[in-house]
Chains A and B, each alone.
Chain A
Amino acid sequence: MSEIPPNLRLTADSGRGPDAADVFAILVREHGERLLAFLRASVPSSSVDDIFQDTVLVAWRRLPDYDRTRPFGAWMRGIARNLVLDHRSKMGRERPTDDAILDAIVRRAEAEDRGDREEFRAKLVKLEDCVARLPDEYRTVIHLSYRLDAPIARIAAEVGANVEAVKKRLQRARAMVATCMESKEATT
């Protein structure tokens, strides 16, 4: 009896086309950015790549359990969510994300399942445009925080404000970007 699950007839069997891992890799690539976005919203960057890799490996192992009527991206994200919870439990009291926030992030990520990779990248281009339209003082802190990965204290020193003011400025900048994105999506 074949160990290959009946719900996945692999083209390798018929001797034509890519093998299972190739096809799997294509699917993962298709959802890669969105999975990374989910992870970046859920865990510190230092853990993102590791959890991404683990998600891919666990998904590969559990492919027989995949219900193909469900979106592949959502299924992968479900695996990633469990790994995030596992990661969080290991962090003990330094939990970066509580349950409510994580669930809300999952819902935000679900909204991205409606499109494909190109659409998601197109959305990121819009986002970049929104960032570019920010007033200077906001664009600067976004640049320092996200492009240069500068710590808040250093940004504060750089812009001549205190730490709390920088946090607030970053928060407002993201809110303005969110509003800009919503208006762009509303017009498309």
Chain B
Amino acid sequence: MRSPDLLRHAWAVASKDLLVEFRSRTAIVSVAVFVVLVFVVFQFGHDPTAVSNFDLAPSILWVTFTFAAILALNRAFQLELENQALEGLLLAPIGRGSIYLGKLIANLAFVATIELIGLPLLALFFNVPVLPCLGPLAATIALATVGFVAVGTLFSAMTVRTRFAELLLPVLLLPFMILPLWWAVLATGRLLASRPLSEVAGWLNMLAVYDVVFVTIALLLFPATVNE
């Protein structure tokens, strides 16, 4: 398939998902509330006189994003279960790669929205100066998010049609999320402490390699998850 078609079809799938979400807005509102609640849990889950909020901020940020992303990913293919919408999608004259890319784009948009809500709230609640390092921090968040959402989109296509789907996705996905999460936490900590960019370049490179490898693999493997 020609690449303009691939992208055009992917965009059609993504815009369909985003439109469904935009019309109802239930998922995004729930996840945004979830993010706030996790922040509150973290605030009361540690002693701020023993561990300062500033030291804990990178962990709070990434643990919250991880759990919020898993919630979002569970939703991606659940949408398609109703009225056997997935069969309809598979019958459409578009490549499997387009379906995967479309789902990936929609999930990325969804998770990015959560992160756009989460980051200012983190700065507000935990008094973390995110503005001075906003550019590199945004790059770190973007790189880490692409990696685990790519794997998560692939896995959610499988888990959604298994027993205990909501539980299985995190069990399968978390081992794949820990590495990017780890690199992202290390990079975020250094960025928030206004360390020079050269100190985090290594982590960002690792994240970029992870993204390239897993987006490619997921694109190649996705047909195997939906072909009967």
> Does A pair with B?
no
